[in-house]
Structure 1
Amino acid sequence: MKLIVLACLAAAALAAPTPDEGTSSSVERDERVDHGDGHFRYAFELDDGTAVEAVGRPREEGGISIEGSYRYVHPDGESVEVTYLADENGFQPSGDILPTPHPLPAHAIEQIRFAEEQRALGVTFE
């Protein structure tokens, strides 16, 4: 019985997937500071181009605001970076990879301009 269990464990170990060469990364930088009062900073970077940084500060109104960024290399080889602010207004990212809304069509822009012109003349809409 012990031999069967040992054989099964050995077979499972031999069948376990191994990472492909070049897919593992090593840490090049790892910094962490926490003052315990809401002030903190961390940063790490891997040799594959992945990096994360964040700085946290307590807010007078309570809570913490965090400013940070993360970067990685997209499978197509392009370096992608996103910066963000997280505070009472939520998570606010910015970066070229993030989707953006479609531009307004010309007729919608004209309607907005006309409505602003009417409001400036004192016209109210009910």
Structure 2
Amino acid sequence: MKVVFFFALAAVAFGAPQILNSADFVPILRDDRIQEDDGRYNFDVETGNGIVISQSGSPVSQGAIASAGQYSYTAPDGTEVVLKFVADENGFQPQSDLLPVAPQFPHPIPQFVLDQIATAQEQEAARARGETVDYE
């Protein structure tokens, strides 16, 4: 009976998933945290795989906290990713060269669009004069 129990226990131990695989282990190189009694905070973290995070914040009103910071890492394709941000009464405001940027407005209007607008205006003027408008 003891032998059966031992083998059953061994089977459960060897069959259990490995929670920490040494290949997945990333050491924390730096972890500096400051939390003040008035709600101000600051932290800086750096990991062995190149992730660096820095953030600080302070209360601004009725439980709201304004914070600012940045994080950086190297993407799998080798691109260095750096994102700086501010989060305050104006919302989350990220800044990075890698974020998409909307075209500046007013942007140039293509000629075919200007032509369509002119045609629509001519047709509207013709209708206002009571003329029959031929749509092409």
TM-score > 0.5 by shorter chain = yes
Task: Pick the aligned partner of 1:8 from 11, 20, 28.
Answer: 11
SS in 2 for 1:81: strand
Bigger RCO of structures 1 and 2 (CA < 8 A, at least 6 apart): 1
Compared with structure 1, are the counterparts of its residues 2 and 46 closer, same or farther at alpha carbon in structure 2 (3 Å cutoff)? same
Identity %: 30
TM-score, structure 2 normalization: 0.65
Deviations 1:10-53 (A, max 9, x none): 3314x6486474x5321111100000212110110012210111
Q: Which amino acid is the alignment partner of residue 13 of structure 2? A: A
SS in 2 for 1:107: coil
Compared with structure 1, are the counterparts of its residues 9 and 83 closer, same or farther at alpha carbon in structure 2 (3 Å cutoff)? same
Compared with structure 1, are the counterparts of its residues 20 and 103 closer, same or farther at alpha carbon in structure 2 (3 Å cutoff)? farther
Q: Which amino acid is the alignment partner of residue 51 of structure 1? A: V
TM-score, structure 1 normalization: 0.69
Q: Aligned runs of 1:1-126 on 2, under 5 Å?
A: 2-3=5-6, 5-13=8-16, 16=18, 19=21, 21=23, 23-59=24-60, 61-62=61-62, 63-102=64-103, 105-107=107-109
Compared with structure 1, are the counterparts of its residues 20 and 32 closer, same or farther at alpha carbon in structure 2 (3 Å cutoff)? closer
Match of 1:120 in 2: none
Q: List, as ranges, runs of 4+ consecutive aligned residues in structure 1 with deviation greater than 6 Å.
A: none
C-alpha RMSD of matched pairs (Å):
2.6
How far apart, CA to CA, are the structure 2 residues paired with 1:72 and 1:33?
Answer: 23
Work out which of the two has the higher radius of gyration on C-alpha atoms and give 1 or 2.
2
In the alignment, structure 1 segments of 5+ residues that lack a partner are 112-126
